Structure 1
Amino acid sequence: MISANETKMPVTHNAPLLRDTMARSLQRELDSLKAEGLHRRLRQVDGPQGPRISVDGTEAIHFAGSDYLGLACHPRLKQAACQATMRYGCGVASARLISGNHDLYPQLEERLACFKQAEAALLFSTGYQANLGVLSALVGSQDVVFSDALNHASIVDGCRLSRAQVRIVPHNDLAALERLLERERSARRRLVVVDSLYSMDGDVAPLAQIVELAERYDCVTMVDDSHGTGVLGKTGRGAAEAAGVLGRIDIETGSLAKALGGFGGYVVASRTVIEYLINRARPFIFTCALPSAVVATVLEALAVMEDEPERRQRLWDNTRYMRIRLREIGFDVNPNGTQIIPLVAGEPERAMRFCQELLSRGVFAQGIRYPSVPRGTERIRLTVTASHNRADLDIALTALAEAGRAVQLI
């Protein structure tokens, strides 16, 4: 007869040892990041989005967000969110292909398609997931993607997930793009993908020339217009409108959390592409639908943007003022750029010291380091908004001059 003690499985200590080994390995990597000046931490922000916020207990003028038109706290958007919450509740608790497709979603998709002059649109939970979904669904191992060297991480990750062959195009280099298009004529599907307005450099892709090349070489175009929507173009329709190619971009993705002041992501394209994504894009299929309050907020944001075009004008007035004055102070700034203004420090420690010098003077502009930007190009990224008044800008310019001298940038 076997005793109870003899039937017990032998006790092993492998799991705790493995956990300890992993913990030590992770700590070594964290220590290495600290040594390189690349360690990150979460800052505590209090209060609503606006031209002034509290950062780690310090009140500061806010130049680190993407609420370009100042819509995130607009009374009409808040009212729309409250009304939708009272009607639909706080969460959908289902994917749209199951029971989460409430009536607001097709309303916003139709509105976005009309706004972008496309056949159809599809909402995603984030702009990041929109790029993952499009690239992983539409291209595969037999296909080639031509991706700009400075494309957003979501595009980079979408390319990896797709398993397509990726050809990196030097930033905004049209001659290099044409050489690659000529070389890869035999691929099953070919897709060129760019950001419209690059989030770390503030420059704009030459969309008119890219579209012309893509049409000449029978290549699909995909543009992420996250930072251009609401900002670029005569009516804020984005980079395609500004470049005169509205309706000629095959696929456009973007975030609803920038100038539109809400949340989520979108894709606009032909009805065939949208139907295919509904059936094949895993980040869409296997994700709960956005809360109805978020969808209602973006619907209202599009209406406010049309009703109050002066917001976009004020954004551009503020942008031109800041760029001209920064150049006069001594920073290397193009006076004719967009609302995203990089001030390159060149190394991570210097960028973060610049950031702290600004915060101590009541200005918050986050230091940006590798891998968000290439090594050696660490920077402060200023984002101008329509909500800033002239007094805000002048206070910030004084702080930037003092902090720039403190870290020997000017």
Structure 2
Amino acid sequence: MNDENLADPSFRMDSPIGARMRIDGREVSYFSGTSYHTLHGAPAVIEAAIAALRTYGLGPGTHAKMAIYAETEALVCQHFGCEKAVSVASGYLSIMALLLALSDDYDVAFADERSHFSVRDALRCVERPVVWFRHCDPQDLSDQLKRHLKPGQKPVVVTDGVFPITGALAPVDHLVELLKAYPGGLLCIDDSHGVGVLGTSGRGTLEHFGVEGSGTFCAGTLSKAFGGFGGIVPVSRVLAEKIAAKAGVIPGASWPPVPAVAAAGAGLRLFRDDPTMLQALRTNLKHMRDGLSSLGLSIPETPVPIFSVQAPTNLKRVYSRLREKDMVVKYVAADGYSDAPPVETLRIAIFSSHSRAQIDDLVAALKICL
């Protein structure tokens, strides 16, 4: 097979998302994307979206009240244990809304150099000095804080909670510890890949590290683990008012469409009522990690459902061979995304709905193809 004939890493979905689904007309084992519990394809989620569409249409066409928005917000508040859950048009904009609301509370932003595009765009909007620290490197952050903060200035540290391509987990416990030396210092994370996945109850990276509380904030999404669409910022009533007053994206952008909001609510209920989802995900993660380790690959010990496979071979060719075996992972070119490494990689996503046999088959195929 010549390089110019390698399969295009894009594809056409022909069915709802699932551990088994149809892509380009073929039934495949799906190890890509971000639907970590495949709730986007759950019948109850789909039916909730259809019922809401019939009741309300696509949306209010303004910021008029509809019961479905309040119902889903209540479910988000219940999940995160917060007073308010601010709804944002997209998860991409959640971190922007949060940083704008807090902009009077910090003087300099310190951000991980491989933070998501959402973080980079948010920091441009905030109009505060930005200092970039080395990826997941608390020591470099410490050095940058000492170098760039003037007496009396307050920092905000901004990072992804879980980095989307490599699955790297931000060292949030160390970041919080560093901020103790700076009274009023804040930590804000874009936790789009952490909520619904990390922590005892699935509240995300902050819960995983046991640092929920004063001075730590997360921005998230309903479009990944929870099977819907739209951004969320779980906060206090006071901060919710500040977000509404200072983040123009709240009054200026339409809310997420009604069917997506209803779908998210249904996904949250399913997640709440079935604690085996998180357990199944973690069981599958361990099985996948053990399998990849058996191939001699270096796999970090984290509870993140993303594996980054790098090897001294043509990984685009490996991707194509897996496709021929009806297994779909994600091929990422060197530096091909916000946190992509400087070498090509295969991103493998694990779902709570994958079977043990599917994982075994993927490991066996990788053993042949790598």
TM score, norm. by length of structure 2: 0.89
Please list every run of 5 or more consecutive structure 2 residues that lacks an aligned counterpart in the other structure. Answer: none
The residue aligned with 2:43 is 75
Alpha-carbon distance in 1 for matches of 2:74, 2:144: 36
2:284 is equivalent to residue 318 of structure 1: yes
Aligned with residue 244 of structure 2, among 278, 291, 306? 278
SS at 2:39 equivalent: coil
Structure with the greater alpha carbon radius of gyration: 1
- Confirm or deny: 8 A CA contact 2:12 2:24 kept in the other structure: yes
> Kindly tell me: are residues 276 and 346 of structure 1, through their superposed partners in 2, closer, same or farther at Cα, counting changes over 3 Å?
farther
Q: Which of 171, 193, 199 in structure 2 is aligned with 1:206?
A: 171
Structure 1 gap ranges (5+): 1-34, 405-410
Distance (Å, rounded) in 2 between the aligned partners of 1:214 and 1:117:
24
Equivalent in the alignment of 1:396: 362
1:236 aligns with 2:189: no
- Encode CA deviations 1:302-359: one digit per residue, 9 max, x unaligned: 2211211111111111111111111112323235552100002479xx3322211211
Three-state SS of the structure 1 residue aligned to 2:207 is helix
Contact 2:92 2:118 (C-alpha < 8 Å) held by counterparts: yes
1:384 aligns with 2:346: no
CA contact (8 A) 1:367 1:380 kept: yes
Q: Cα–Cα, structure 1 residues 240 and 197, in superposed 2: closer, same or farther, change >3 Å?
A: same
Instruction: State how far apart, in whole Å, the 2-side matches of 1:394 and 1:221 are.
Output: 39
With structure 1 as the length reference, what TM-score do the two structures score? 0.81
Residue equivalent to 2:18: 50
Question: Aligned runs of 1:7-406 on 2, under 5 Å?
Answer: 42-94=10-62, 96=63, 99=64, 101-136=65-100, 138-139=102-103, 143-186=107-150, 190-217=155-182, 218-334=184-300, 336-345=302-311, 350-369=314-333, 370-372=335-337, 373-374=339-340, 376-404=342-370
Aligned pairs, number: 362
CA contact (8 A) 1:201 1:341 kept: yes
Q: Describe the SS at the equivalent of 1:401.
A: helix
Cα gap change, 1:336/1:127 in structure 2, threshold over 3 Å: closer, same or farther? closer
Instruction: Using the TM superposition, give the Cα deviation of residue 137 of structure 1 relative to its aligned residue in structure 2, in angstroms.
Output: 5.3
Which segments of structure 1 move beyond 6 Å, counting only runs of 4 or more?
A: none
Asked if structure 2 preserves the Cα contact closer than 8 Å seen for 1:323 and 1:337, the reply is: no
CA shift in 2, pair 1:184/1:271, >3 Å: farther
Q: For the residues of structure 1 that align with 2:327 and 2:212, how far apart are their CA atoms?
A: 37
In the superposition, relative to structure 1, how do residues 378 and 249 fare at CA in structure 2: closer, same or farther (>3 Å)? farther
State percent identity of aligned pairs: 30
For residues 272-327 of structure 1, give each alpha carbon's deviation from its aligned partner in whole angstroms, at most 9, with x where no partner exists.
32212212212222211112222222222222112111111111111111111111
Contact kept, 8 Å, 2:32 with 2:349, in 1: the verdict is: yes
Offset, 1:386: 1.0
Q: Quickly say closer, same or farther: Cα 1:53–1:200, change in 2 above 3 A.
A: same
Deviations 1:20-61 (A, max 9, x none): xxxxxxxxxxxxxxx99xxx8752111110012333334321
Question: 1:375: how far off?
Answer: 5.7
Report the CA distance shift for 1:72/1:249 in structure 2 as closer, same or farther (over 3 A): farther
Structure 1: how far apart are the matches of 2:46 and 2:11? 25
Shift of residue 189, structure 1, vs aligned partner: 5.1
